[in-house]
């Protein structure tokens, strides 16, 4: 075999190896993208609006870099706030002058981020999809919003 034939054979053997390496890298990127964890609160994918502002008298010490309004009922308005380290459930009570509560947690755990207890209510902040994956009614919860569960008249265990 001549020198040029020998070099041609070596190059042909290298091409399939390079093609397989490129294919493996592309598959890794695709599979990595499919297994990425979805964001815990899709509501932060939207721009903040006028209703996403807490009342001026609510002062959060942690978790207040971004705020989104979630829902309300006859007694309260519910917000989720976050910082780079914390997620908070902020409850602004409608029937009490300048009364509010906030409960924050630095982790997302199993989807139940934080629970908050106030006189006459027990509220929980949960990640997107939590209610579909758990039997909330059996546990006494009522879903007000994708991310807010309440137990009326209950106190924390």
The answer to whether 67 and 73 have CB atoms below 8 angstroms apart is no
pTM for the model stands at 0.70
Q: What is the pLDDT of residue 98?
A: 81
Mean pLDDT of 129-138: 87
Band (106; pLDDT cuts 50, 70, 90): confident
Q: Which residues contact 92 (CB under 8 A, 6 or more apart)?
A: 54, 55, 58, 76, 77, 78, 79, 99, 100
Specify the pLDDT at position 84.
86
Evaluated on CA atoms 57, 62, 66, 70, the torsion sign reads: negative
pLDDT single digits (tens) 9-55: 444 455 554 444 444 444 444 444 444 455 689 999 999 999 999 99
Q: What is the pLDDT of residue 125?
A: 93
| Average pLDDT for the chain | 77
Alpha-carbon gap, residue 126 to 110, rounded angstroms: 9
User: What is the reported pLDDT for 21?
Assistant: 46
pLDDT of residue 153: 58
């Amino acid at each position: 075999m001549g020198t040029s034939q020998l070099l041609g054979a070596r190059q042909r053997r290298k091409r399939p190896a390079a093609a397989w390496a490129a294919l493996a890298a592309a598959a890794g990127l695709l599979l990595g993208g499919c297994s990425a964890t979805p964001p815990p609160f899709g509501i932060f994918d939207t721009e903040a609006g006028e209703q996403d502002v807490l009342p001026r008298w609510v002062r959060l010490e942690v978790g207040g870099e971004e705020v989104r309004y979630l829902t309300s009922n006859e007694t309260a308005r519910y917000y989720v706030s976050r910082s780079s380290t914390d997620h908070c459930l902020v409850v602004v009570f409608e029937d009490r002058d300048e009364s509010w509560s906030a409960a924050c947690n630095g982790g997302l755990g199993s989807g139940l981020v934080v629970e908050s207890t106030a006189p006459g209510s027990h509220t929980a902040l949960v990640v997107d999809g939590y209610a579909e994956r758990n039997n909330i009614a059996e546990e006494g919860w009522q879903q007000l919003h994708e991310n807010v569960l309440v137990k009326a008249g209950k106190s924390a265990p």
